[in-house]
Chains A and B, each alone.
Chain A
């Protein structure tokens, strides 16, 4: 089982739509959770951290369910500029380090 698994894409939605991405992780010791955004041929950039109580940043809402080891990202009122690949990321802690492990990514295409 992969450490981080995401919804297969691509998601093709019209402007103004609401879209949800889901992700599961396998390491119950993970403590840090993120959504990163990656534009075509660019480096990943942090979109938002994900907290146990859930958190919102404008049109973006992230949720975490530790019991189910499940993370979600909701995007409301999609904009053309939201078109990108969204990467679910968790840390993989051990005594020596805490590397970030990325999912395969889900591609979102927003059209007018």
Chain B
């Protein structure tokens, strides 16, 4: 049973660059949520995708955008990277936009230099 898969696992980018992170949900799941976790902090909600639409968004600037594909996989794009964007980016999948049954991927560790 495939869990949530995220790629890449690690990434180093320069300030001002753009980055795309990818997530494949757990088999049977159709909802994808993205979180940013800075060191020593809890995961901060970025946005949630269901039926290829952004359903909810946290307090993140427009530099953060996303997409969900027909196969339920998702991408997170961050433009004009700042040093403060350095964090672990977590993807979680669930079924039909429900709060129960979230499964997290291992995350992508982004370092902005």
A interface residues, Cβ below 8 angstroms from B: 4, 31-32, 42-46, 49, 87, 91-94, 96-105
Contact = CB atoms under 8 A, between A and B. Distances in A.
27 contacts: A31-B99, A32-B100, A42-B106, A43-B90, A43-B104, A43-B106, A43-B107, A44-B43, A44-B104, A46-B102, A87-B43, A92-B56, A94-B56, A96-B55, A97-B55, A97-B56, A98-B99, A99-B33, A99-B45, A99-B55, A99-B56, A99-B58, A100-B33, A100-B92, A102-B35, A102-B43, A103-B42
The 7 closest A-B pairs by CB, nearest first: A97-B55, A32-B99, A43-B104, A97-B56, A91-B99, A102-B42, A96-B55
Contact of B97 (A44, A92, A98): A98
Interface residues of B, number: 24
B71 interface: no
B42 A92 contact: no
| Interface of A (DSSP majority class) | strand
A42 B105 CA distance: 9
A87 to B, nearest CB: 6
Interface of B: 33, 35, 41-45, 48, 50, 53, 55-56, 58, 90, 92, 97-100, 102, 104-107
A98 B100 CA distance: 10
Contact of A97 (B50, B105, B106): B50
Contacts of B105: 43
Contacts of B55: 96-97, 99
For B48, B53, B102, which residue has the most chain A Cβ atoms within 10 angstroms?
B102
